[in-house]
């Protein structure tokens, strides 16, 4: 009996350690204004668990969705979502070519990489993403950009979906991250 309790506590402590090591994270985000349009630049980070890497190397494509919201900050009410946008990425490993392929599901563009870290880095950098026009933004209001990286477990093959439930090695999403925007201080 003591052996089982020790094994269970060891397993739980390993799962807690894994939960901190594997996820996605929004490191930085900012908006810029050019010719009356607002553009997003963001730096993200992806950390795959050993189980996710094993599934990837066995031919299972992995999908993430980067959810972006522009919120009008209201001090005595819930924030008003003025814009919703999402980017979808597919990461796949091709064993015959020994290459990783990242596909932007929004544009159907894809790029091949020789290493997993290079493929993840390509998904981690967002530059010059057009979000909205100056006409849609009021200079008299406060705004915040909210970004979340969502790992799409429902895109996994059905047998694998049952294994990822409550498994910390498959918690590859981030929480919402908020960045305050100073619209009136942006150069035209």
The tens digit of pLDDT for each residue in 146-162 reads 999 999 999 999 989 98
Residue 162, SS3 per DSSP: helix
* pTM listed for this prediction: 0.81
**Exposed e or buried b per residue across 111-147, where buried means at least 16 C-beta atoms within 10 angstroms of its C-beta:** eebeebeebbebbbebeeeebbeeeebeeeebbebbb
Q: How many domains does the chain have?
A: 1
User: For residue range 46-77, what is the model confidence (pLDDT) as tens digits?
Assistant: 999 999 999 999 999 999 999 999 998 888 88
Q: In the 8-state DSSP scheme, what is residue 141? A: S
Domain extent for 31: 2-185
């Amino acid at each position: 009996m003591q052996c089982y309790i020790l094994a269970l506590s060891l397993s739980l402590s390993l799962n807690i350690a894994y939960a901190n090591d594997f996820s996605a994270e929004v490191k930085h985000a900012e908006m810029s204004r050019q010719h009356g349009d607002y553009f997003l630049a963001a730096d993200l980070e992806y950390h795959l668990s050993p189980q996710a890497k094993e599934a990837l190397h066995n031919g299972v494509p992995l999908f993430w969705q980067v959810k972006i919201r522009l919120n009008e900050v209201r001090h005595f009410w819930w924030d008003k979502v003025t814009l919703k946008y999402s980017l979808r990425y597919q990461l796949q490993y091709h064993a015959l070519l020994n290459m990783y392929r990242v596909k932007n599901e929004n544009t159907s563009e894809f790029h091949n990489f020789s290493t997993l870290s290079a493929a993840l880095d390509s998904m981690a950098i967002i530059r010059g993403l057009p979000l909205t026009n100056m006409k849609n933004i009021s200079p008299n209001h406060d705004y915040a950009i909210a970004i979340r990286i969502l790992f799409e477990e429902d895109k996994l093959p059905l047998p694998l979906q049952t294994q990822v439930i409550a498994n910390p090695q498959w918690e590859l999403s981030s929480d919402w991250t908020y960045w305050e925007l100073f619209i009136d201080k942006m150069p035209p």
